[in-house]
Structures are given as structure tokens and as C-alpha cells.
Amino acid sequence: MRIDIVTVSPELIRSPFEHSILKRAQDKGKVEVHFHGLRDYALNRYGKIDDYQFGGGAGMVLMIEPIDKCLSGLMQERDYDEIIYMTPDAPTLDQRTANILSDKSNLLILTGHYKGVDQRIRDKFITKEISIGDYVLSGGELAAAVLCDAVIRLIPGVLGDETSALTDSFQDNLLAPPVFTRPAEYDGMKVPDILLSGNFPKIEEWRHDAAIERTKLIRPDLLNDE
Ligand code: ADE
């Protein structure tokens, strides 16, 4: 997979890709990530890329021309499966969307800043808009990093143990069951006997029941989704 990220602040988003699973995925050749700074497409030598909004109102808006130049140039080089805009006024990211995107070859992600981007960019280029939750961040960079993490770890071969992504929370619309490791007893707190029994069908059953219990308690809304 190739991911191109277009942003006002490439330096703000680089770091998560330089560590842990996201780094390993790139080292293994499973994903290539490229950052594009919007100021490289600025209208003047002072790096102008934003302006006041028509009609008045607080906050600057990213201008159409620098983004148009950047996206059009990238689109001439390859076909993108999705051109994604990270914004709070969009459907919320979920595991289903991450699964679908993990199967794509080329993703282009535009991150907003300030009050967002000129609406005409959204109308002309964007095929999918994603929010990472009902709160407003200072910019879309961290949201893009969250999206990329959720997607990249699902690319086959990225996680060492293939099954570990399959048993994540949300993969079957359930939260993950509790997990324990050594010691089997600590300060009087015991690990459930069933997990020490070696009876794997029973352990699976226990885990499934525990996942349902936890989901009922914390996220009952998930049980109503199909
Ligand atoms: N940009 C600012 N806030 C955001 C959010 N919640 N999700 C995605 N992009 C954003």
C-alpha cells in the first residue's frame, strides 16, 4: 500500500511513523508513506496558503489553489482508491472502515487546519470524509496518524501474529475480553481458573461470554448494530 499525506505541518505527523508497528510495516515493505507540505505549493514566497473566510467569521480557511496544485499533481502520478479528508464534520472512523481501507493500494489523505479547507476542494477531490471522534483537534494531522495506524496494522503480514488483529476489540462488533499474564496470583488477586485449565474450547467460550458482558456494560450500542 502507498499512502500520501498532504498537510500544513509534515513535521507534526512524521513521528508516529518512525516507531513500533508503523515503522516495522514500512521496513517490511508493506506500506510506503509520503508526506507533502502544503507550503511547498504556497501562493507567494511568504508561504501564503490560507485566508479569511467570505461572509466573515473567526478563523482562517485553507485556500483552494495550493491544495488543488498539490492534489492534482499527485493524481497525475497514480490512481487513488480513496481521497480522504480528515475533518470533525464527517462520519466517525470505525473498525469496519479501517478493514475496508486496509485492502486498498493507494490512499491520499488531506488534513485540514484552522477552520478547514475551502468547500470547493471537498466537492472537487474528496471521495471519503472521516472524523476520529466528536471533538475538535487543532488540525487533522493527529487524526490522520490515528487513521493510518488503524489501517496499517490490518494489512496482512504487518502484525507478527496474524490472529492478534482478528481478536482486537470491534473486529466482531464486540469489545475485547480481559487478558491476564503471569503471575497467576498477585496480592490475593487471582486469574480466572478457566484460563489456566488448558481446555481451549472452554477458554474460547469464556472469552466470548466475557466480551459480550464487557460490551453490554460499556458499549451496549455496539450490540444493536448489525
Ligand atoms: N480535525 C480536527 N478535528 C478532527 C477530528 N475530530 N477528526 C478528524 N479530523 C479532525
User: How many CA atoms lie within 13 Å of 104's alpha carbon, on the beta-carbon side?
Assistant: 20
Q: Assess if residue 160 is contained within a domain.
A: no
Residue with cell 513500533: 20
CA distances in angstroms from 28 to 55, 104, 158, 186, listed in the order given: 50, 17, 8, 39
Which domain range does residue 213 map to? 169-224
Whether residue 16 sits in one domain with residue 99: yes
Ligand 1 pocket residue status of 112, Cβ below 6 Å:
yes
Q: Which domain CATH number covers 213? A: 1.10.1270.20
The total number of structural domains in the chain stands at 2
Ligand 1 atom closest to Cα of residue 86? 9
CB proximity list for 117: less than 8 A, separation 6 or greater: 61, 62, 64, 67, 85, 110
Whether residue 103 sits in one domain with residue 70: yes
pTM: 0.94
Q: What is the pLDDT of residues 64-110, one digit of tens each?
A: 999 999 999 999 999 999 999 999 999 999 999 999 999 999 999 99
| Nearest-CA residue for atom 7 of ligand 1 | 131
Q: What is the pLDDT of residues 126-145, one digit of tens each?
A: 999 999 999 999 999 999 99
Q: What is the pLDDT of residues 179-223, one digit of tens each?
A: 999 999 999 999 999 999 999 999 999 999 999 999 999 999 999
Closest CA to 167 of 155, 178, 151: 178
